[in-house]
Structure 1
Amino acid sequence: MALGKVKELVSSNPVVIFSNKFCPYCVCVKQLFVLKLGVQYKAIELDQESDGSEIQSALAEWTGQHTLPNVFVGGYHIGDCDSKFDLTP
């Protein structure tokens, strides 16, 4: 159920950031998108969602990434703050 919700969010939004509201890495990535890149995003604050732990487990199952933020652009999993981004199609 949570995996279906995650995939629906990713497929229906150009940029999705799965985050925790007060995580400093998450805050930094969200600021990067808005302030530096001028890109709007859909934030899913897992610490404020009733099914946040299930969503995080579904993300880990789908992507292999257990940390936040968990970023998707154009339906592609970009990763987290430690990822080396390769946006080549």
Structure 2
Amino acid sequence: MPEQTPREWVTELIKKHKVVVFSKSYCPYCTRAKMALNTLNLNDVHVEELDSHPQMDQVQDYLKELTGERSVPRVFVNGSFYGDSSKTVADVENGSFMKHFKNTEL
């Protein structure tokens, strides 16, 4: 089976998990978003550290196609782009992030 393209890989992750965070391990904005999401104790949060991905630039190019930006973090919820660090952290703190989940999905 051939390797997945960056586009296929990103698309599969977004479909497979309730929450996907495309991150970089050294990024302070990514750290804030991940810490905020960790406070929610959700069952299916998948974090991808792009700085260890061999095709990081191509992945970020595709994320720009999907979201309008190459910057990280890029947070996806239920298969759709949710936002960046500022939106994610603010919505976790004000409680509106959880409106995207049914009680059975927690």
Please, what is the CA RMSD of the aligned residues?
A: 2.1
Q: Return the structure number with greater helix share.
A: 2
AA aligned to 1:9 is L
Corresponding residue for residue 38 of structure 1: 41
2:78 pairs with 1:67: no
2:33 pairs with 1:29: yes
Instruction: Give matches, 1:1-89, under 5 Å.
Output: 1-34=5-38, 36-39=39-42, 40-83=44-87
1:62 Cα deviation after fit = 1.7
Q: Percent identity?
A: 32
TM-score normalised by structure 1 residue count:
0.85
* Structure of greater Rg: 2
TM-score normalised by structure 2 residue count:
0.72
Q: State the aligned residue count.
A: 88
> Which ranges of 4 or more aligned residues in structure 1 deviate by more than 6 Å?
84-89
Contact 2:32/2:85 (8 A) holds in 1 = no
Structure 2 residue ranges without an equivalent (≥5): 101-106
User: What is the alpha-carbon distance in structure 2 between the residues aligned to residue 12 and residue 62 of structure 1?
Assistant: 17
Structure 1 residue ranges without an equivalent (≥5): none
